[in-house]
Amino acid sequence: MGLVHLVLENHYLMALIAAADPSTAGRTWYDEGVTPYAALVKAKGHLPPAEETAAVQYIIDRLPRVALTSDWKAFQYALRDLFGMSDFLLTRENWAAIDSRVRKSYRKRDDWYRSIFAKAGTRLAFWCYGKPLLEGPLRGVLSVGEFLRRPRGGVNNSASLTAAFDPWIDEAVAAYNPVSMKVGFAYYRDIAIAGPRARQVDAALKALRPGAPLVRSRAVDDFVHALAAGASARRGLPLQVHTGILAGNVYEQPLPLTYVTRIEPFIAAHPQTRFDIFHGSFPQWGEAIALARKYPNVYLNLCWVTTLSETAAESMLDTALDAVPVNKIMWGGDAHSPEMAYGVTVLFREILDRVLNRRNEGRKLTLESADWILQRSAAELYGLPI
């Protein structure tokens, strides 16, 4: 794995670069012809020499357009600290040396990943794609979307749907003992959940072909998310919920349908379920803060906000500390590689340092607040050792 691969898999950076080019409107960053990422996937991670040269040129030419963004700042921190990049941008002059260091580091990938987490001071990170690719510093998260993508098969009523759900969780527990469940329905639907009656679900299931995925029906989708909330409460698995802005350049849902207040009735209906509100409903982060202040079972998570906007993350954290108990405030990287996670960690610590030092509340209280935000809040919510 070389530097081209490392940059192209930074999906947020690639989406920003695509957003700078109006000729790509109507497509997203991973579509063929938008960025070199599609060619990298087609080549199974190994671009032919001519295509790699073109990809390098593409990256170098377009980085100046996004050089002032928080996404690049965090990634530049990673390239600086992990691969010795002394310049602010990747250039034709420094590319070969950094690429050589990346390739050398990846000769023993797992060891390299562990060394990144150690350098960042990260003892535990969540892997939101099921079973973790690396044991030790990563814990898996069970996506409810996996269940909904299953074909209907012999599930023909709400009773059989309910009966199938817990065994599915049991399989995941046996395989990798997930630390939580996650719902990402904002990417394909309004996140408001209606709470359909059993007879509506029965009718919806009968209307689905056996080979059709369960997600095809809105009534079934709502019902499964209610099952997830119930299982979350029974099993002590917090429910992570994507809210706010979506990754990429093209998606079906208008942004207002992703804001956290859309699921407030669902939150109120499940008081025993602990909701981890991802991304703080950015850019409507005031709504997430208000719900975390109001509901004992709602937690505020700044994951991804750090690189969406350093300035917004600082304002959001400052406001949250004014309004929300500190044990309900968390942060996260929302990264697709350990290198991305490292850069976000460094950037967030800078933000946290500025916010807490402005408050002049005494060294002991400042250190305790930092400890809550960096680790204790998440450890308490997820039942993890510190």
Share the mean pLDDT of the chain: 95
What's the pLDDT band for 290 if we cut at 50, 70, 90? very high
pLDDT in tens, 178-202: 999 999 999 999 999 988 899 999 9
Bridge partners (DSSP) of residue 140 are: 127
The per-residue pLDDT for 251 is: 74
The pLDDT score that the predictor gives to residue 286 is 97
Q: What is the pLDDT of residues 73-107, one digit of tens each?
A: 999 999 999 999 999 999 999 999 999 999 999 99
Sheet holding 239-242, edge to edge: 125-127, 138-143, 180-183, 239-242, 275-278, 298-301, 329-330
Strands 275-278 and 138-143: unpaired
The domain limits of the chain are 3-114, 125-382
> CB-based contacts of 274: which residues, under 8 Å, 6+ apart?
232, 233, 238, 239, 297, 299, 381
Distance CA 374, CA 349 (A): 9
pLDDT number for residue 136: 80
Position 253 scores a pLDDT of 83
Instruction: Give the pLDDT score at 60.
Output: 98
* Across 319-328, 347-356, 358-367, least confident range: 358-367
Using the predicted structure, report yes or no on whether residue 57 has a pLDDT greater than 80. yes
- Tell whether the model's pLDDT for residue 363 goes beyond 90: no
Percent of the chain scored above 70 by pLDDT? 100
Which CATH code fits 125-382? 3.20.20.140
Among candidate residues 90, 8, 119, the one with its CA nearest the CA of residue 349: 119
